[in-house]
Chains A and B, each alone.
Chain A
Amino acid sequence: MSLLIDLKNFIGNFSLEEVNPKVKKLFRVCLLSFTFIHTLTILAYKKWLLSPEGISLSLEMAPKAQGLNLFSLLSMESVRPFVGVFFFFQIVSIILAMRGKFSIITNFLVLFFTLNLNTLIQPILDGGNQVSVILLFFNCFLKTSQNNEKKASFINEIRTSLSNGAFYIIKAHIIFLYITAAVSKLNGPLWKSGMSLYYILQSNEFGHPLIFNNIHVLEMPLTFLTYFTLLFQVCLPFLIHHKLMRLPMIFVGVLLHLGIVFTMGLFHFGTFMALVYVIFLKDKEITFLQKLPNKIFKRGIYEN
């Protein structure tokens, strides 16, 4: 009975109360920051990544669109000379979206320019980029301010409802990502035998001299880490909702992905995955984090 009442309240409040607006805001900032950093990297290495050969490879590797596709305009030769304009407006829309100006439009523009620019860099896109465009789409619907009116208008109710829906879909996408990754890893013989990291980290591409030159010392820690990663990915979809385990899971997840940045050298993928954990925080935790510097600073003054 109480479950039914809870469900009724949940449905009733779904279009009235903005769920975790602070979390939504921070998540948006993280997502846009990642997109911004990714763009800066492409611009910094444009000599390689946007060379005519690189672009022609990307276009041949890109899935073929039938007719005019608004999200791969840069595949058209007549539009390609304006690639600089796409970069410029992507950065401008990121800045405007971060400042909360015309939220829906600016966030949609970020998605539009990102998808178009991705057409030109197909071979360098990784799992992080693939998930980031899905999240950028739902980010357009997120509302980051709380309703102040006591009786919400029809438009406001729709807006709040869409924002909450997008929030839960983003969470569901990330959890589903872990389910897919865990299931496919459980079918991989190297993961099952605990030897995955032992071999991956010996490769020139995903390893580091400090690791592959000392692999004999690291056998056991790497086997432990392989099973730990597997266990973490299997458990995350369930434990991330647990009252006591949520924060430790976020902490471990962030550490794990920062580990990927430094050991495997996947800066963009690792950073992106570490940033998306923000979505699992609660507003009160963000408030605490916001106040933390102040608290430390004030305590510092008193102690002095």
Chain B
Amino acid sequence: MRRYFISMITLTICFYHILMVVVNASPNSLIKAYLGKEAQNYTGKLFAQKGELFAPHPAFFSLIFKIRCVEPKGTSPWFSPLKKIQKDHYSNRLAGKEKILFLYQNPIRQIVGLIEEKRENCKNITKEQCKEYVSKEVIREPSFRFLSKYASKKCSDWEMVLGKKYPHFYSKEKKSTRWDLIEKYSFNKEGLK
């Protein structure tokens, strides 16, 4: 009898755990309206499963990250700081260098996304006002502080370009260029240029 009792308690705990994880990850529904809060409290940060991490809407663009030094003695040519790491990563997939690339790519992705999001709010203001508004929002971001600190390590005064490059939409013709659309934003120490 005792073993049945122990088994039933454990199985109930297991069932409750799975139910809470499923409810927490499920889209809005009647069940979520009843159990959502409890599920969120239960799963917390440890058990929450995030579906978006498994590429439902994959990022099909490439990121742009370029810096140039603007110093009294002259302006340097543009350089891409991650090019060498990327090249190493292409030649050896087992070295785990994607982690270094993530460290820079995620902030770039975040800033470019933020600019796109904030520009949506610019419908009723002038271009200059919009630039000022977006710039203020970007400067506040830890990601921007991170990238500007990185640029400051390379040169005392700098210009930085962040952006996205989109490949051509599928077509049977072979295109002469690799990219169809390039969206880029220039920054200096003060923010968006």
Contact = CB atoms under 8 A, between A and B. Distances in A.
B54 A205 contact: no
A184 B51 contact: yes
Interface in A163-212: 164-165, 168-169, 172-173, 176-177, 180-181, 183-185, 187-188, 190-191, 195-196, 198-200, 202-206, 208-209, 212
Interface stretch (B9-17, B28-36, B115-123, B184-192): B9-17
B98 A203 contact: no
B63 to A, nearest CB: 6
B29 to A, nearest CB: 13
B73 interface: no
Contact of A157 (B3, B90, B94, B150): B3
Given A157-B2, A203-B59, A164 B105 contact: no
B174 A183 contact: no
A190 to B, nearest CB: 6
Main secondary structure of the interface of A (DSSP, over half): helix
B79 interface: no
Interface string A241-269: 00000000000000000000110011110
Nearest to A65: B45
A150 interface: no
A110 interface: no
A124 interface: yes
Given A134-B46, A176-B18, A199 B101 contact: no
Contact of A268 (B10, B46, B98): B98
Interface string B26-65: 0000000000000000000111011111111111111100
A49 interface: yes
A11 interface: yes
A205 to B, nearest CB: 6
Q: Which of A187, A190, A205, A209 has the most CB of B within 10 A?
A: A205
Nearest to B63: A205
B95 to A, nearest CB: 7
A196 B107 CA distance: 24
Nearest to A270: B93
A133 interface: yes
A15 B10 CA distance: 9
Contacts of A127: 50, 53-54
Nearest to B89: A265
Nearest to B109: A205
A190 B57 contact: yes
Contacts of A219: 170
Contact of A61 (B21, B142, B167): B142
Interface string A45-64: 10011000110110011010
Contacts of B103: 48-49, 54, 57, 123-124
B186 to A, nearest CB: 20
B142 A57 contact: yes
B77 interface: no
A49 B99 contact: yes
A131 interface: yes
B84 interface: no
B8 A11 contact: yes
B75 interface: no
Given A180-B49, A188-B57, A216 B174 contact: yes
A173 B21 contact: yes
A15 B7 contact: yes
A12 interface: yes
A82 B169 CA distance: 51
Contacts of B59: 200, 203, 205-206
9 contacts: A11-B4, A53-B149, A157-B2, A161-B9, A180-B49, A181-B51, A188-B58, A205-B105, A261-B94
Given A133-B46, A172-B14, 16 more contacts: A14-B7, A57-B142, A123-B103, A127-B54, A134-B46, A158-B6, A161-B9, A165-B11, A168-B14, A177-B49, A184-B56, A188-B57, A202-B62, A265-B90, A267-B96, A267-B98
7 residue pairs, one from A and one from B, having the closest CB atoms: A199-B60, A184-B56, A127-B53, A60-B142, A181-B54, A14-B7, A180-B51
Interface of B: 2-4, 6-11, 13-14, 17-18, 21-22, 25, 45-47, 49-63, 86, 89-90, 93-103, 105-107, 142-143, 145-146, 149-150, 167, 170, 174, 178
